[in-house]
Amino acid sequence: MKKISRRSFLTAMAAVSAAGVLTACGASSSTASSVASSVAASSEAATSSEAVPESVTIKAFNGAKELVDVEVPFDPQRIAILELASLDILDELGVGDRVVGTASTSLDYLQSYVTNDSIVNLGNIKEADMEAVMACEPDIIFIGGRLSKSYDALCEIAPVVFLSTDAEKGVVESTRENAMTIASIFGLEDHVEALMADFDSRIDALKAFAEGKTAIVGMTTSGSFNVLGNDGRCSIIGKEIGFENIGVDANIDTSTHGNEASFEFIVDKNPDYIFAMDRDAAIGTDGAQMAQEILENELVKSTDAYKNGHVVYLAHPNVWYTAEGGIQALSEMLSDLENALL
């Protein structure tokens, strides 16, 4: 199921209610070309009628992964991106043309940032090019957990926003909260609910399908199959969609790369469904075995899941692995499940 672009919807909404939104947001409006002249007018109006704050305080993580108050500039004009879910959200909010530097990515829907010669390559989501970050003179920097050890060093350059999904809250709620946090930096909070509007109904449809069904959720990597629980990657399948995840003990931490499982284990559990995310495909590992090559052996072929055509290879593994927490990413993740199940 492919959804209508949220950016198109957001632009239409902005056009209809431009006067009200622009007055409320001051200089923090979407930079889409259709409202560019209104953005300039709103800046003048804000100066004369209502003071625009110089900074706002948000909740974000520090380098120790503790949730703290972080003061950031309001309506920043130069954005450095080292985390793809945040780039996804900024793109959906319509402020993507403020990005001056970004991490590399293979995500199709974010390629315009990678191929734009005016946007500096800042390394990748695991290792930042600190000199490049400094050279692009950002007002604000967005990172994810893979760069938490670089948090303090990056703070020397500009305020750092470190956001993450929370498996306890669920991917949808985490995405909504993170989108609201990012939107508040630009005065665009009113746009978030419209961008998130149909996710609950899509979850409900998948939940109805999953009721009473068991599953093993896992990740193929380096020739192995690692089972995943409801505490991290792909947790939306068990926690929010509602498949009974029988692959791991509830007390075992599988949040990073899961726990390696034997194929005999899969046969013994004999789930109704097997969901596989191909990590090597997600990160572009040269010469790696594909998920199908790893899983479709004689043992797995003896399971009910295989016999019934219920082995689901998540179609966009790079989205699941590198951009969970983004708005468009969430849509693509749900589409992968909808196309396989509904």
For residue 248, what pLDDT is reported?
79
CB under 8 Å to 165, separation ≥6 — which residues? 85, 171, 174, 175, 178, 324, 325
C-alpha–C-alpha distance, residues 330 and 295, integer Å = 26
Spatial separation of the C-alpha atoms in residues 82 and 67, rounded to whole Å = 19
Residue 282 has pLDDT above 60, yes or no: yes
Average pLDDT value for residue range 45-68:
83
285: pLDDT strictly greater than 70? yes
Q: Which parts of the chain are beta strand (E)?
A: 55-61, 67-73, 79-82, 99-102, 120-121, 140-143, 160-162, 214-221, 224-227, 244-245, 259-261, 273-278, 311-313
What pLDDT band is residue 52 in, cutting at 50, 70 and 90? Answer: confident
Contacts made by residues 124-133, CB under 8 angstroms, sequence distance 24+: 125/82, 125/83, 125/84, 125/322, 128/82, 128/103, 128/154, 130/154, 130/157, 132/101, 133/80, 133/82, 133/101, 133/157
What's the pLDDT band for 232 if we cut at 50, 70, 90? Answer: confident
Whether the predicted pLDDT of 332 surpasses 70: yes
43 close to 26: Cβ distance less than 8 angstroms: yes
Question: Using 50, 70 and 90 to split pLDDT, how confident is the model at 50?
Answer: low
The angle at the Cα of 13, spanning 337 to 327, to the nearest 5 degrees, equals 30
Categorise residue 123: left if φ over 0, alpha if ψ from -120 to 50, beta otherwise: left
For the segment 311-322, the average pLDDT, to the nearest whole number, is: 97
- pLDDT of 48 > 80? The answer is no
CA dihedral 323→324→325→329, nearest 10 degrees, is 70
Q: Mean of the per-residue pLDDT values for the chain?
A: 87
> What's at 317, amino acid-wise?
P
Please report the pLDDT score of residue 11 as a whole number: 47
In degrees and rounded to multiples of 5, residue 127 shows phi and psi of -145, 115
How would residue 254 be classed by pLDDT, with cut points 50, 70 and 90? low
Give the angle subtended at the CA of 56 by the CAs of 47 and 112, to the nearest 5°: 85
Give the confidence band of 261 by pLDDT, cuts at 50, 70, 90: confident
Q: Are the C-beta atoms of residues 226 and 205 closer than 8 Å to each other?
A: no
The pLDDT assigned to 255 comes to 52
Question: What pLDDT does 231 receive?
Answer: 87
Quick check: 35 pLDDT over 80? no
Burial track 294-308 (b if 16+ CB lie within 10 A, e otherwise): bbeeeebeebebbee
Helix (H) or strand (E) holding 13: helix 6-16
User: Kind of pairing, strands 67-73 and 55-61?
Assistant: antiparallel
How far, in Å, CA of 160 to CA of 152, rounded?
Answer: 9
Report the alpha-carbon distance of residue 29 to residue 189 in Å, rounded. Answer: 11
Q: What is the pLDDT of residue 18?
A: 42
Residues 6+ apart with CB under 8 A from 216: 227, 245, 246, 247, 261, 266, 269, 271, 273, 274, 275, 305
The residue type of 322 is T
